[in-house]
Each structure stands twice: as C-alpha cells, then as structure tokens.
Amino acid sequence: MKSLRLTLKVSKLNNTTHIWFPAAPQAVDEEIKSWFSVAPTEIQTDEKFGNKIAYFYFPEKNSITMYANFPISDQDSLPTAPDKFLHPNRFVQSDDTAIINIAKLLTKNYLTDEDKVRHCFDFVVRYLSYANPIRGLYSSIQALIDRGVDCGGFSTLLVALLRAVKIPARCVFGWAIRSKLGYHAWVEYFDRQKNLWIPADPSAANLENRTKLDAGFGFINDERVRLSVGEDIDLAGNKINWTAPLLQSPVVVSFDHQEMPSPIVEGLKWAVI
C-alpha cells in the first residue's frame, strides 16, 4: 500500500513547542500512533466533529525532525451525525441574508437534495474563479464578495448555500495526491433521500482538470488522504489555556505557551512512498 509521507523539520525553537497533525478521522488511536516516527504525546478527538488529532509536546528541544506516513487508500466518509453540520460558524455564514436568498433562489424549483445541491454546485463553479491562495480559510462571505479564492473559498461558499436550505454539508481537508495543489479542500453533503454522505469538489470542476484533479459533482476518483472534516476545530495542549482552530493546514505549530498556534509551511515536505 502506498503512503503519503509528511516530513517536518523545525529549528530555532523556544522553550516549549506544541505540534498538531490532523490524522485521518476514521482511524483508531493505536493505528494513528504507528504512522509517526516520533510517538505522539496523545491522540486527541475533537468534540465538535470527531476528528482525530496527533498532538506533540516538546519541552526544551533545540530542533525537531519527524515524519508521518498516512496510508493512501479508499476511505469511507466519516459517519458523523448530519445535524452537526447544519449550523453557521465564522467561516460558513449560512445565516447571512445574501447567502440565504441566493440558496433559496437556486433551489426553489427542486425537491430532492441531489437536484438542490447540483444547482448550488453549478452556481459556485461559475461564480468563483481560482486565485489568491491563502494559508488559512476563506469564509463564505469573503468568497461571495472577492470571487477570486482558493479551494477553501469554493468549499465554504458551497457549504454555506447548502446549510442555508437545511442540507447538512461540511468542508473536508486533506491531500490530493495527483494534484499540483497537494493539500486541498472539498465538500461532502448529506443526501437525506439516499442517507449517504456524498463528495463534491467545486474548485476541481472550475479548474477543469488543469491540476490533474479527477473530481466534480458527486465523485472523487483521484487518490486522496482525508485528514479532517469541519471548518472550526479547536486545539488544546499541555499547560496552555487557549484554543485555536485547525484550519486549512496539514500541520499547526506553537513555539510557546502564550503563542497562538499557526499553520506551518516552511520546513514541511511531502512525498508518496
């Protein structure tokens, strides 16, 4: 079986270092531990969505080099209760008047979830363009206003439209192995007639395979590693009294008890082995 290897090298550390890796929400704790070259301090489960997070606490270290091997295989969607993904948050403003009005207009002539989602999906694909990638996550309002956004903006806008008409939907973050983009965001919605979580990748449809992504409405055929679901996942650590969201990043680091965690890009490499 092939694996996605993420290698992290960090130097010039402070007295304490905290690192979080999202770790495939459907995996069990002991399996996750075996993926890492350094034993995690603990495997956390976030209370909102059930994501698994490998947490590392390093006191008094000068540098860190570690890697994780995530298996690449067909992964079933995380069977989280759909009602957890109906509410607005600071990234998915499904209670915003403009988003509600657009969603109702797009879906008013359709009865099934599949038809409603299809028309919201087509709107997002046509309305947005892929541009201006950021380290964090575009909110749905930002996407609606800016129109030029990355895969995260495509995803939050689609999720907001669906939640606005009471269709459970969530952002998914992970790795698209055959994509030039690497780390990627897409969407899953819950079809209430079929009782299934179904994928949709609006940014891939917008780019029309220019990134080698084989995905679109209702299908994702290229190799992926799903790392987390949901848009605002709280992090916690040793001897710290804050939480911060795990966003559109495969690794989050804090170098001090008082420093808010942030996504890390420098020092992180990936390969398929």
Domain containing 111 equals: 82-222
- Does 63 lie in the same domain as 44? yes
Is residue 188, in this structure, part of any structural domain at all? yes
- Does 205 lie in the same domain as 133? yes
Token couple for 124: 């997002």
- Does 199 lie in the same domain as 155? yes
pTM above 0.95? no
% of the chain exceeding 70 in pLDDT: 87
On the CB side of 223, CA atoms within 13 Å amount to: 12
Q: What local confidence, expressed as pLDDT, does residue 92 receive?
A: 97
Is residue 77, in this structure, part of any structural domain at all? no
User: DSSP character for 80?
Assistant: -
- Does 100 lie in the same domain as 61? no
- Does 112 lie in the same domain as 203? yes
Number of structural domains found in the chain: 2
- Does 124 lie in the same domain as 23? no
Q: Kindly list the strands in the beta sheet with 3-11, ordered across the sheet, starting from the edge strand earlier in the chain.
A: 63-71, 3-11, 268-272
- Does 217 lie in the same domain as 88? yes
- Does 9 lie in the same domain as 141? no
State pLDDT tens for residues 157-181. Answer: 999 999 999 999 999 998 888 766 6
- Does 128 lie in the same domain as 198? yes
131-139 mean pLDDT: 89
- Does 37 lie in the same domain as 65? yes
- Does 56 lie in the same domain as 180? no
- Does 205 lie in the same domain as 87? yes
State pLDDT tens for residues 176-235. Answer: 887 666 788 999 999 999 999 999 999 999 988 676 677 899 998 767 888 889 988 877
Separation between Cα atoms, residue 166 and residue 64, nearest integer Å: 45
Q: Kindly list the strands in the beta sheet with 42-45, ordered across the sheet, starting from the edge strand earlier in the chain.
A: 42-45, 52-59, 16-22, 252-254, 262-263
CATH number of the domain enclosing 212: 3.10.620.30
